[in-house]
């Protein structure tokens, strides 16, 4: 795998065990994310940033202001306005006046957007289930516990 | 954390446990990577793609052809030629004729490039050690085992 080869280059033998752990975590994350990107392209001709944006809107049926949407998508990067424009042209979302703030507008999924997102989310779940299916229930549980603990640590340490 | 908020939006309560596990993994990976990006910018005024490119070259003292360098960096994306140009202008790498292939050239770190990379790699290691320091040795070992098992599964399943 080129991903694994590439990332291992950050490592030399005498580096600390934490570094080895981080590169292993990053490699797993990248392998899964690359798989999801390819599957979204192949099966739905869409991208991960579009999928993530639609996921945010699906969870906010009342709609989101652009600023809030950008804030929630911060971690995936991507040009939020550009993606909103594309999805609006495709009829998957719409802009509506915000009844609570006449200077702003809200972005929401259309009915067709919700329908398409439901199909993608279901496929996405099945890809992930398949990717993790080689781990036993015991292994999945152990990994889940370790990651919960790590996440708790990270959210305390990261500003 | 906005990162955690954002990613959790891919999840609804009735989703499969594997999906929960994947989102937890991705959240941890993104939190650490964001921390590294910020620290590289603050302490070295550099970027993660530049750091990753220099890491590849540091491991290949004989130099790498551009095609090989791009292949190894596939997973981080980024415009390899653009980054090589920037680092060359900064005196951190150089292009040299490939003695084995006169149609190609090799990219290598300069002495100053190696010096700067060594400083960054050392700082990078200390950031990672600190980020993982909240986990006990037992927890780190458990996480390491789970991730090794997952990586082995993924490299079997991912094309």
Looking at the structure, do residues A54 and A96 belong to the same domain, yes or no? yes
Say if residues A57 and A121 touch (Cβ distance below 8 Å): no
User: Is residue A70 located within the same domain as residue A120?
Assistant: yes
B76 and B147 together in one domain: yes
Measured between beta carbons, the chain A residues lying within 8 angstroms of B69 are none
Please report residues of A whose CB lies closer than 8 A to that of B26.
Answer: 29, 32-33
**Quick one: pLDDT at residue A7?**
56
Q: Where are the alpha helices (DSSP H) in chain B?
A: 2-8, 17-44, 48-58, 66-72, 80-89, 111-132, 137-157
Residues B41 and B103 in one domain: no
Is pTM, for the whole model, over 0.90?
A: no
Question: Do A51 and A9 belong to one domain?
Answer: no
Task: Answer yes or no: is pLDDT of A42 > 50.
Answer: yes
State CA A123 to chain mean position distance. 14
pLDDT value at residue B101: 87
Q: Is residue A105 part of a domain?
A: yes
CA atoms within 13 A on the CB side of A4: 15
What distance separates the 2 farthest-apart alpha carbons in chain B? 60
Number of structural domains in chain B: 2
Q: Which residue has the higher pLDDT, B1 or B121?
A: B121
Same domain for B29 and B99, yes or no, is: no
Which structural domain, as residue segments, surrounds residue A70? 46-131
Q: What is the pLDDT of residue B104?
A: 86
Q: A18: which chain B residues are within 8 Å (Cβ-Cβ)? A: 125, 128-129, 131-133, 140
A12, A32, A59 from B12: Cα distances, Å: 40, 20, 9
Question: Which of B5, B8, B10, B56 to probe the A interface (max A CBs under 10 A)?
Answer: B10
Domain shared by B86 and B105, yes or no? yes
Instruction: Indicate the average pLDDT of chain B.
Output: 86
Lowest mean pLDDT among A141-155, B41-55, B144-158: B144-158
SS3 B54: helix
Model confidence at A26: pLDDT above 80: yes
Minimum mean pLDDT range among A45-59, A90-104, B71-85: B71-85
Residues B80-103 pLDDT 10s: 888 999 999 999 999 998 888 888
């Amino acid at each position: 795998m080129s991903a694994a080869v590439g990332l291992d280059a950050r490592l030399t033998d005498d580096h600390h065990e934490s570094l080895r752990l981080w590169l292993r975590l990053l490699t797993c994350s990248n392998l899964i994310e690359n798989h999801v990107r390819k599957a979204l392209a192949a099966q739905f001709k869409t991208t991960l940033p579009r999928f993530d944006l639609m996921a945010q809107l699906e969870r906010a049926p009342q709609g989101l202001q652009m600023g809030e949407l950008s804030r929630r998508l911060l971690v995936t990067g991507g040009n939020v306005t550009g993606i909103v424009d594309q999805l609006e042209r495709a009829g998957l979302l719409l802009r509506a006046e915000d009844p609570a703030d006449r200077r702003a507008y809200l972005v929401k999924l259309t009915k067709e957007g919700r329908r398409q997102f439901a199909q993608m989310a279901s496929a996405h779940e099945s890809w992930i289930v398949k990717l993790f299916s080689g781990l036993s229930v015991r292994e999945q549980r152990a990994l889940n516990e370790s990651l919960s603990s790590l996440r708790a640590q990270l959210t305390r340490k990261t500003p």
